[in-house]
Amino acid sequence: MVPEMMTGTTLTLLLLLGLILVMRSRGAKSTMPGPNFCLGVGPLVTYIRFLWMGIGGASNYYNGKYGDLVRVWIKGEETLVISRPSAVCHVLKHARYSGRFGSKYGLQCVGMHERGIIFNCNIAMWKKNRIYFIKALSGPGLQNAAALCAESTTRYLRSLHDVIAHQGHVNILNLLRCIILDVSNRLFLQVPIDEKDLVSKIQNYFDSWQTLLLKPNFFFKFRWMYKKYEDAAQELQNAVANLVEQKRKALLEAEKLDNTTNFASDLIFAQSHGEMTTEDVTQCILEMLIAGPDTMSVTLFFMLMLLAQHPKAEKEVVDEINTLIGDKQIQNGDLLNLKVLETFINESLRFQPVVNFSMRQATEDDVIDGHFVKKGTNIILNIGRMQRGEFFVKPHEFKLENFQKTVPSRYFQPFGSGPRSCVGKFIAMFMMKAILVTILKQYSVQPAKGRSLENISKIHDLSFHPAEPDCMLEMIFIPRRLNE
């Protein structure tokens, strides 16, 4: 999923954009550190760097060069890149930073413009949609998540022989994606799906979203430049629309609705009352289905790699699982008592986060740490860099000791906080614990010889994830009793 290299046409158009920026130079000087405007050259260079290095990579570059509060430009728009804990917390907790930013045309191509909740810049619509997500991701959904994760993971583990490649290797990422998609479907949609086919479409959709998010407006003047991304996004949208129709039909034919109502049915009922459009319903369900395979599967992959690289941590985690759970079925109360596992998860999220920044936009004028921020300013919260601060005992190393004492939220924000925090943060912890427990009770998962997180290819753009396809991502499942 590596974004394509800039074509000659794109580079030429970027140079033209630079000339336009020269004409728009206002000569104003910012009190924040960062590149010079320099008659429009500064904005052009910073924008090209974001397109070239990816959002995460460029954010780390500028924070590393200029400090933890930096002013740059994206698409000619003033953008702040922040990794200072006090400033990050200020932005997270205030509703005046509930806006998002990104290419309007790019978001339209993937169906996110003023729809769903992930990149919905229409605050009123985002608030309305968010209510349905909160309901689905709490209450019964939260209570049932652990049991469904354990059941689905066990079923896929029993079929490992069907996915084993050469030399006993397993494409662990696709395995995790199928598990999480199966659980998401059973929690939020409840219709028959082909997990492998849908996982492939989700990967292509993510690639399109990542590629188009920051593209300049003129890129969308030439359909041949973005057609394949639009088509890939449309392919998933069509697939989800078909699933919604299956759900709609099931609701119409159901004698009782007690066992068929869930997130999808709530949205369908809202549409029947004129509160949502067909496109709104499809996009909300699409975003609910892609969230897990997009981020949680990669997060779990990183965790399994870290366990393999730190056998002492793995032993502590497995010993706790054996002591508190043993051979019995997983209960929600058991997951809450797995303190070593929770510490391991937190340290993994700190050391190797998948979503390590958040994109916001100021909806009002404000002041951040003494610096004036005008309405409409774009903001990138570089949370991954912030979480490697000096508060931790070994900030640049993976150590469970980093969470021996309580960590204030200002130094650790894996799911964000405030009005636009991750709506699925509680259910995500339950699901990660249940899946890890189910796998680790039965298997020790090891990468092939010589492979580690440090030497696999990774992309640092919209999220931090392995480059695919890459045979180096395959892992070996060793039955734990045999391993011992």
Q: From the annotation, which residues make up the binding site?
A: 422
| Residue 318: partners with Cβ closer than 8 Å, 6 or more residues away | 440, 480
33 upstream amide cis, omega within 30 of 0: no
Q: What share of the chain is helix, strand, coil (3-state, %, to 5)?
A: 60, 10, 35
Q: Which three-class secondary structure state does DSSP give residue 186? A: helix
Neighbours of 147 (CB within 10 A): 16
Residue numbering of the annotated binding site for heme = 422
Q: What are the φ/ψ torsions at residue 358 (nearest 5 degrees)?
A: -135, 135
Q: Which residue from 329, 324, 362 is spatially nearest to 340, judged by alpha carbons?
A: 324
CB 25 within 8 A of CB 39: yes
d(CA 379, CA 70): 10
Euclidean distance between CA atoms 273 and 281, whole angstroms: 13
60, with CB counted inside 10 A (0-12, 13-18, 19+), is buried
| CB of 171 closer than 8 Å to CB of 205 | no
Residue 347 three-state SS: helix
Strands 458-460 and 371-373: unpaired
- What span, in angstroms and rounded, lies between the C-alpha atoms of 12 and 204? 27
Type and span of the H or E element at 459 = strand 458-460
CA distances from 86 to 63, 68, 91 (A): 15, 10, 9
Is beta strand 77-82 parallel, antiparallel or unpaired with respect to 378-381? parallel
